[in-house]
Amino acid sequence: MERYVAFLRGMNLGNRRIKSPELVGHFEAMELEEVATFRASGNVVFVDPEGETESRLQKRVEKELDERLGYDVAVFLRSAKEVAGIAARAPFDAKAIKSAAANKGKPQIVLLGRKPTAKAVKAVEALCPDGDLMVVEDRELHWLPAVGLSETEVDTKALDNALGKGTTRTAGTIEQIASKYCG
């Protein structure tokens, strides 16, 4: 049985409010097991006892959440092994991280629906403001903003246009999920 982490886009923002027990209940109603949430930002860990393909499972979870919640929920699914791998990556050196932290910048990971094309990666490079660092690896964009997210000059809509919609988590959140659930 495969363990997965579903990263849900836009949860507990604006009118999209859901408490962890309710979210757990929705996943359990889908006959998924060992369901747990991590923080209130749409991170759901679970085991798929049926062994569906990742693609099929992701589509099913999206469809059922859309129906249960009454709005579109973009789901970015990763196996526990993938989450552990993402957490282990270190695309930025300690000096760059320390420099960014002095201005409230923290390493971010944008989870994407698919691996970007070479053309999309070039578009991302063009969108990267001076001082920020961006590295695309597999289905993730690792981003080290030179400032806090609220002050960044990155055009997130242009990023979505280049890469397809994604959902962002701090690298620390991914590391904590990996440590707790993906060992």
**pLDDT tens string 125-160:** 999 999 999 999 999 999 999 999 989 999 989 999
Q: What is the pLDDT of residues 31-66, one digit of tens each?
A: 999 999 999 889 999 999 999 999 999 999 999 999
Give me the amino acid identity at 81.
K
Distance from C-alpha of 46 to C-alpha of 181, rounded to nearest angstrom:
9
Task: Please determine whether the domains at 2-84 and 86-181 fall in the same fold group of CATH.
Answer: yes
Distance of CA 89 to the CA centre of its chain: 15
The Cα–Cα gap between 113 and 55 comes to 10
Q: What integer pLDDT is reported at residue 15 of this predicted model?
A: 77
Q: What residues form DSSP beta bridges with 141?
A: 110, 136
118, two tokens: 């070479």
Task: Identify the three-state secondary structure at position 40.
Answer: coil
Q: Tell me what pLDDT residue 146 has.
A: 95
CA distance 101 to 159: 23
Q: CATH top-level class for 2-84?
A: alpha beta
Rounded to two decimals, the pTM is 0.95
CATH topology of domain 86-181: Alpha-Beta Plaits (3.30.70)
Domain ranges of the chain: 2-84, 86-181
